[in-house]
Chain A
Amino acid sequence: MRFASLLDSVGHTPLVGLPSLSPSEQVRLWAKLEDENPTGSVKDRAALAMVEQAEADGLLQPGSVLLEPTSGNTGISLAMVARQRGYRLVCVMPENTSAERRQLLSMWGAEVISSPAAGGSNEAVRVAKALAQEHPDWVMLYQYGNQANALAHYQTTGPELLADLPTITHFVAGLGTTGTLMGTGRYLREHKPDVQVIAAEPRYGELVYGLRNLDEGFVPELYDESVLTTRFSVGARDAIRRTRELLLTEGIFAGPSTGGILHAALGVARKAQQAGQEADIAFIVCDGGWKYLSTGLYEGTLDDAEQALEGQLWA
């Protein structure tokens, strides 16, 4: 496939069947390989769409400074897009994220400001909002509340999935900003009213939930509960186990958030199988495993790997 530039190649990712992990010929699992995007994650779609929307709104000029709270992938995608378009990028990222994320951000020329580990992304959002107040000339695209994030998936991920898998019955994705689930989910529901939209939410170690009080909790502005059929919480151990299983049985080298999503997808598959229903279950491979090699996720026993991820923002 030929594209005019790297940015033009965002999306159009393959959907591959999982013959070994699918429970039967009637209940089939399909992986959408979002790691095949230019910076290696699903976030390229949202980052490009948010920048293009900001340009259309007249918010950006050459040399403008973008500001974004991110646990990594959105920052990396924005760094690439910003570099291509001539903007600067300042990322606020929790300090408990993998070393590779930090290296990649620097490579693409982003500045990284660390936020405290305790409180995870909530803290990154808080720090970024404070910085935005101090620097009114900076443009915070704010992935958690930017409709262009969800719209990117409504306009690209959803149509791609339906075109490749017209018999889709279930869509499973990770819940972070909620953009992937909201946009893809809305598109699929409009065209397949019976489709089930399932969220897999990472359950981190306790450090990440280290809020001072419950009122500091955070629900992304994009989140609309009515788009979802249900929502599962997946801990690090199940995520790691499934990440390894995906690698060993189907050859797909993915990051831990994908393992969490696969865990939810397999749960859904088991239910369909028990109910004797036919199912085509598509799920998102958010990113490849490359950025997590230093975490120890792929080495040693499950206990070792679980221990290594404790307190990290692994999704």
Chain B
Amino acid sequence: MSVEVRVPTILRPLTGGEKIVQAQGATLEAVIKDLDASYPGIGERLVDDSGLRRFVNVYVNDEDVRFMDSLQTPVQDGDSVTILPAVAGG
């Protein structure tokens, strides 16, 4: 499975400045593992022992993975994964 991952500005120093990168995997967890292999250090910025970090939001096809299967959310070929820091509205 190949997916497109959108990387927020704050993590781009780790992807050599790339905004959109490709990664492989059948679940979000596998995708993040694959990302970390290509861009060492990105994994620990996204995930800690308890799962996704508190101020990190990840969306698969625009839906928040915390309301799907979180790190176990399945991804399919051509899906888009968007990573964003949590910010305020209002």
On whether A225 and B10 interact (CB within 8 A), knowing A143-B90, A233-B82, the answer reads no
A175 to B60, CA, bound (A): 18
Interface SS of chain B: mixed
**A202-B89 contact in complex given A214-B55, A219-B54, A233-B59, C-beta closer than 8 Å:** yes
Q: How far is the CA of A129 from the CA of B45 in the complex (A)?
A: 27
Interface size for B (C-beta < 8 A) is 24
A201 to B89, CA, bound (A): 9
Interface readout for A231-254 with B: 1 if CB under 8 Å, 0 if not?
111100000000000000000000
Contact indicator B63/A231 (Cβ below 8 Å): yes
- With A209-B10, A214-B45: A122-B64 Cβ-Cβ less than 8 Å: no
Q: Which chain B residues lie closer than 8 Å to A234 at the CB level?
A: 62
Q: Mark B53-90, 1 if CB is under 8 A from A, else 0.
A: 11111010011101110000000000000101111111
Q: Hey, what's the 0/1 contact readout for B14-44 against A, CB within 8 Å counting as 1?
A: 0000000000000000000000000000000
Assess whether A218 is in contact with B55, with CB atoms less than 8 Å apart.
yes
A206 to B7, CA, bound (A): 10
Contact B89 A217, beta carbon cutoff 8 Å: no
- Contact present for A232 and B62 (CB under 8 Å): yes
Residues A209 and B89 in contact in the complex (CB < 8 Å), given A228-B67, A230-B63: no
Residue ranges of B at the interface with A (Cβ–Cβ < 8 Å): 8-10, 45, 53-57, 59, 62-64, 66-68, 82, 84-90
**CB within 8 Å of B: which residues of A?**
69-71, 73-74, 119-122, 124-125, 143-144, 174-177, 179, 201-204, 206, 208-220, 225, 228-234, 315
